[in-house]
Structure 1
């Protein structure tokens, strides 16, 4: 397990380095003037003032010096400062994170509950028309953009029925519509994968044995088949959390909430490159952490994965070689 964790740590470090390098190339190394971009229209600045600003931002150094300088700062936990406000990027993200985390966490809970409930209901029913109706809902949830869902929920539940506030960060009621908005696509993916996986598990011999012992359909699905069927859905948890985080950033703009979405929008509008790069690196770090957590959860759901000392390293491959559930 120690070797496995060390290997996963190295993989995560490589992902973060790749995200940093790619964002640096896109934001700083392209044939443009980052100083002019971050300062804004430079026609009001004299060449001497622009050169002084470039020196202040460290942009008068060579590209390699800038790259390794920023990489060294990152290794020490320094994400630089916002060009517009002068506040450290780490503090900006830390101040906005609780609001975004609240939406993302509640959206994950709602998405998992909806996806699992829909998949179990579709596999429990014996009515073919009802099963087909339930299984047509996930593709619809994947196809509809989250911002459109948010606008529809605003129209119905805020403006027409006035059940939830349309904007702001006040109270738990302001979390409901944003969380539901970002939960629909993860719920749809979970339902698609879990329904296909449950169908496969329900054809296994141990399920027939449980039925022979008198277990009812609900007990067979939830108690016996669901645990094994959850592995493929758990495999995409990293993608789901990344999608939830990205969705939360978009939804915060739609619902006018203070969070990473508002910071990202302001940074893009003002071309505040250190903040943009900081948000990119934070999202990459969340993706790495969630994928590591998922790998550690595999043996808890299926002890066969860790029955020998090195089997934990084969957890992703053990899931990948099975029947690949369709997500279309």
Structure 2
């Protein structure tokens, strides 16, 4: 089996897995929303003081196919999704795709800022803990990632609001205006992710430090810092790619809480409000968007592995042979 055939086979397999994950996420979210006891049409019409007209409820249920059996509703919804038609919001009547397109940029800016901050903070903390010569300082630095992982996202957000917005008014407490409104939400999301990055990188650094080639380089007179930056870190950083999908998933999940705490408009806030009123098309659209981002990130990670370590390509070739 040639290298090109192996690569094509692996790519086809991963694409098939990606399609399956998207279908599974869509199907499970549809079933979970269906078994909820509340009715989105009744919720929408009963928001006022009066009771909804039964004829109006029946008419709207027919418009959104909610009067059909489960399998028929699922088939209609899935067929429209395959045509990239996510339907219209039950609450507002707006196209779901348009609502997601309007909310996605704010969440993307928040997630990317938090991701970069988490990588920088996590790598710096791991390098500091690995390079320090003081046993006490090393013990303190090694304990920080475990503490950061345990902190709830909402608690970090409230603490930052109290310190840097209400107590010391450096950054706004809410809104989407300007880069200053992005600092506290991004920091709230970055702290747990940075702790995870530091934990993984610290374990990987410790393993690389004990490799024979590191002892050989040290015998040649290389300083510890030069070894760390030039040889240990590049070999220890590969496991961070595996964490990319997990970190992105945590950022997407955390955006729901973070955008709610800081009153930011975005996909997380949109999902929270849609779930509260059982707006099925909007929730389905958010699930599809989140699953697509998660799948694409993991696919990019898998394709990037062979570029960093040729041994992975050879192992996959033997597995597919």
TM (norm. structure 1) is 0.90
2:39–2:278: 8 Å Cα contact kept in structure 1? no
How far apart, in 2, do the equivalents of 1:95 and 1:122 lie?
Answer: 42
**Number of the residue aligned with 2:16:** 10
Q: Give the match's secondary structure for 2:94.
A: coil
2:136 to 126, 129, 146: 129
2:176 to 166, 169, 182: 169
Shift of 1:274: 1.3
Q: Output one character per residue of 1:202-240: Cα deviation in whole Å (capped at 9) or x when no partner.
A: 000111122123221112112111122122222121011
Runs of 4+ in 1 over 3 A off after TM superposition: 29-43, 311-314
- Mapping for residues 117-266 of structure 1, pairs under 5 Å: 117-266=124-273
Q: Give the match's secondary structure for 1:148.
A: helix
How far apart, in 2, do the equivalents of 1:253 and 1:311 lie?
Answer: 49
**Number of the residue aligned with 1:112:** 119
Structure 1 residues 84 and 10: CA distance shift in structure 2, 3 A: same
Shift of 1:155: 1.1
1:277 to 271, 280, 284: 284
1:252–1:261: 8 Å Cα contact kept in structure 2? yes
1:68 to 75, 81, 84: 75
Structure 1: 5+ residue stretches without partners: 315-328
Q: Output one character per residue of 1:32-86: Cα deviation in whole Å (capped at 9) or x when no partner.
A: 6454355447982343322212111111222111111111111111111111111
The root-mean-square deviation of aligned C-alpha atoms, in Å, is 2.1
Shift of 1:307: 4.2
1:116–1:190: 8 Å Cα contact kept in structure 2? yes
Structure 1 residues 153 and 108: CA distance shift in structure 2, 3 A: same
1:29–1:63: 8 Å Cα contact kept in structure 2? no
How far apart, in 2, do the equivalents of 1:169 and 1:49 lie?
Answer: 38
Q: Give the match's secondary structure for 2:237.
A: helix
1:20 to 17, 21, 26: 26
**Number of the residue aligned with 1:318:** none
2:40–2:278: 8 Å Cα contact kept in structure 1? no
Structure 2: 5+ residue stretches without partners: 1-6
How far apart, in 1, do the equivalents of 2:130 and 2:171 lie?
Answer: 34
**Number of the residue aligned with 2:3:** none
2:85 to 78, 83, 86: 78
Structure 1 residues 161 and 41: CA distance shift in structure 2, 3 A: closer
Q: Give the match's secondary structure for 2:27.
A: helix
